[in-house]
A and B are shown apart, each in its own frame.
Chain A
């Protein structure tokens, strides 16, 4: 999955504006509670601004690489560790469920939320269903498997969707 095209050079590590930070935290709060990120229309309604302005805020978060956007629509696609679209990594909590972007992120979700979860995924080779139980403090307590990282770390910032 390619990273969306960037019109301007990204600068990870830069300070963010208060408005952008508020929007980012709000996005994560909605994901945590509902399982999915908000659309630009929803954010626009929350802020009382035109949808184009919400899309511009998404674009700025994307430029910072706080999130990854759908290159066709400009809507939120990946808000690490969460995915806006179904994947092979399903994470189930007691109040909501989430899609994770990858094997790393399926454990990133309980880490980010600080809650116990169950994970349902499958073997990348044979497709056999694999289930994990993850304790918020101790990590995986049930289930087995290993993760394979394709790309060395030096390429992560080039293509975040294919690591």
Chain B
């Protein structure tokens, strides 16, 4: 994902590419996500998270703008 000066610049960038808006996070929210995701990466015994484990990390952060964007699986995928 890219970093932008402001919401206005995200909107301008998407409009120029006819792109669909995803999710925008504040710097503070990205920091909390980065810390939860990466602070144990160098530890011996670390292994990639299963989708369920990744979901638990995302759920704990209560990220905006909507829950569905941050779901590792959609409801009808079982």
Q: How far is the CB of B42 from chain A (nearest CB, A)?
A: 5
Bound-state Cα–Cα, A140 to B27, Å: 7
Do the beta carbons of A144 and B71 come within 8 Å of each other? no
Do the beta carbons of B22 and A123 come within 8 Å of each other? no
Instruction: Give B40-67 as 1s and 0s: 1 = Cβ < 8 Å from A's Cβ atoms.
Output: 0110111111111111001000000000
| Chain B minimum-CB-distance residue to A121 | B3
Do the beta carbons of A154 and B73 come within 8 Å of each other? yes
Do the beta carbons of A147 and B5 come within 8 Å of each other? no
Among B3, B31, B37, B71, the residue within 8 A (CB) of A139 is B31
Do the beta carbons of A81 and B48 come within 8 Å of each other? no
Do the beta carbons of B39 and A152 come within 8 Å of each other? no
Q: Within 8 Å of chain B (Cβ to Cβ): is A12?
A: yes
Do the beta carbons of B2 and A147 come within 8 Å of each other? yes
Bound-state Cα–Cα, A102 to B2, Å: 6
Interface on A for B, CB 8 Å cutoff? 12-16, 21, 24-25, 28-29, 32, 64-66, 80-81, 89, 102-114, 121-126, 128, 130, 132, 134, 139-140, 143-154, 156-157, 163
A-B contact pairs, 14 of them (CB 8 A): A81-B38, A103-B2, A109-B38, A113-B42, A124-B4, A139-B31, A145-B27, A146-B6, A146-B24, A148-B14, A148-B24, A149-B22, A153-B58, A154-B74
Beyond the given pairs A108-B34, A111-B35, A124-B9, 6 more chain A to chain B contacts, judged by CB atoms under 8 angstroms and listed by A's residue number, are A24-B46, A28-B42, A89-B3, A149-B24, A152-B23, A153-B71
